[in-house]
Structure 1
Amino acid sequence: MELITLKSPREQEAMRRAGRVTAQARALAGSMVRPGATTKEIDDAVRKFIRSKGGQPSFLGYGGFSGSACISVNEVVIHGIPSKKIVLKEGDIVSIDVGAIIDGFHGDCAATYPCGAISEEAQRLIDVTRQSFWEGYQQVQVGRRVSDISHAVQVYVESHGYGVVRDFVGHGVGTKLHEAPEVPNFGPAGHGARLQAGMAIAVEPMVCAGDWHVKVLKDGWTTVSADGSLTAHYENTILVTDNGPEITTVTEDGAYD
């Protein structure tokens, strides 16, 4: 079993710097979501921005991934590959997942954005997914267990009639993009690793408007809802501290998406 790493004060400060750049990249990408834009254009902007800050995109080349961001449209829940062939249209919802490595440490965050005017149902899905993160966030307290987060997310999502993805989970973050512990978005409370000051985790609800089952397409990356329903994704990197949870993926003006 992989050991959970606790970040020193110096390492926590490095994670704050990485998180700030990552959040700025997410905000930039979100501002570019509009009818007629391609996901490749957004991806190019993310890559250029992160490099302009002295960092590198965490996702670029990760496991062979070709983009600097995962940009997932409508029924694509995660790992959408940026392409000049994917042109956004009015009514789409677009999930953008960004990672940046700065001075050896990663930030990781995601959000789902409306493309022009969207349906009430699509907006509700975005809102519930975002709020489910905050329900889990409230459980990030020293002494509680990882599955306390998981359970809070699941209960909130399912109370609104949606399905929370089980095949993919949140995770620890640090000098590696994916570290221990895994942070599922489902399951009973009171299980898993006990939260300790110095831990850093990415909590990331992935939600389907219909059933929770997903499938990975032939490209080996693109993951869609099995029933073709709309999907949404929301994520931030969180430091566990003695004073409560602290989000590192926040812009200089305090924005989380």
Structure 2
Amino acid sequence: MKPVIIKSDEHIQCMKASGALLASVFKALDEYIKVGMTTMELNDFVETYITENLGAIASTKGQYGYPYAINVSVNEVVCHGMPKASQKIKSSDIINIDVTLKHNGYLADSSKMYVMQDASPLAKKLAKETYQAMWEGIKRVKPGAKLGDIGHAIQTYAERRGYSVVREFCGHGIGSEMHEGPDVLHFGKKDTGLVLKPGMTFTIEPMINQGSHKVKTLKDGWTVVTKDKKLSAQWEHTILVTDNGYEVLTLRHDETVTGI
């Protein structure tokens, strides 16, 4: 089990700076992404923006041998989708773009759903409800709360709306390393698990499926899809436990701290 590292004030400031840079990546993506471009074009844009515009490291690239700067997960792809020069964005797609950035030795990790204009009403609803499920978990973060409170809030919100929560993947501690302790499950029971303390930093990143929660990994060894081929959505933020609650370190320009 990986250790949970309480961050010093100095390290928290580094993580805040990385989080702000990562938020700016998504702002740039908002203006760049469009129907007809390839997912590899998105990857190349993000890598160039991070390295040349921001002077930071696109730290997804090379992590565990992964060859690209982003994960781009389209429609039934749950996570870890690989960009392709042959894959063009369609007007009906929903797309999760997951980016990790490192600056001055500290990381920030976030993902966002891009819902194309002709996506079905059910697809749009899934993306919106997944976003709110993430916030239901985030709002449980405070000193003295337990990790199970986060997972329970997400699971309850999603399942009451007829969705399922992917079990095989979870949020994680983050700091100078991509994956630190603790593991942050997106399902669970209230008042169970690790007690949260100020200075902890971790991601909350629920993957919510239209159908069954069951998934499978494709032959490329990375791409995870729903077994029933129904749609999946995911959002992610990097969170700091503060003295009296939480701070979202990767909050984007188009967001508030209370979700929708």
Per-residue displacement from partner, 1:50-88 (whole Å, max 9, x unpaired)?
Answer: 112121112001111111010010000110111111111
Percent of aligned pairs sharing the same letter: 39
- In the other structure, the counterpart of 1:10 is 10
Per-residue displacement from partner, 1:11-47 (whole Å, max 9, x unpaired)?
Answer: 0000001111112223333443322011111111111
Shift in alpha-carbon separation, 1:241–1:186, aligned structure 2, 3 A: same
Question: Aligned partners of 2:145, 2:92: CA distance in 1, in Å?
Answer: 40
- In the other structure, the counterpart of 1:59 is 60
Task: Map 1:1-257 onto structure 2 (within 5 A).
Answer: 1-51=1-51, 52-251=53-252, 253=253, 255=255
Per-residue displacement from partner, 1:143-177 (whole Å, max 9, x unpaired)?
Answer: 01111101100000111101110000001110011
Per mean C-alpha deviation after superposition, the further-off stretch among 49-58 and 28-37 is 28-37
Question: Aligned partners of 2:230, 2:28: CA distance in 1, in Å?
Answer: 27
What RMSD, in angstroms, separates the aligned Cα atoms of the two structures? 1.4
Whether the 8 Å contact between 1:29 and 1:96 is mirrored in structure 2 is: no
SS at match of 1:77: strand
SS at match of 1:34: coil
Question: Aligned partners of 1:243, 1:10: CA distance in 2, in Å?
Answer: 19
Question: Aligned partners of 1:247, 1:254: CA distance in 2, in Å?
Answer: 13
SS at match of 2:158: helix
Question: Aligned partners of 2:254, 2:34: CA distance in 1, in Å?
Answer: 24
Question: Aligned partners of 2:160, 2:20: CA distance in 1, in Å?
Answer: 33
Per mean C-alpha deviation after superposition, the further-off stretch among 52-61 and 95-104 is 52-61
Question: Aligned partners of 2:47, 2:62: CA distance in 1, in Å?
Answer: 12
Question: Aligned partners of 1:3, 1:110: CA distance in 2, in Å?
Answer: 24
What is the TM-score of this pair, normalised by structure 1?
Answer: 0.96
Whether the 8 Å contact between 1:171 and 1:183 is mirrored in structure 2 is: yes
Whether the 8 Å contact between 1:71 and 1:94 is mirrored in structure 2 is: yes
Give the Å deviation of 1:100.
0.0
What is the TM-score of this pair, normalised by structure 2?
Answer: 0.95
SS at match of 1:109: strand
Whether the 8 Å contact between 1:80 and 1:221 is mirrored in structure 2 is: yes
Question: Aligned partners of 2:102, 2:193: CA distance in 1, in Å?
Answer: 27
One-letter amino acid of the structure 1 residue matched with residue 146 of structure 2: R
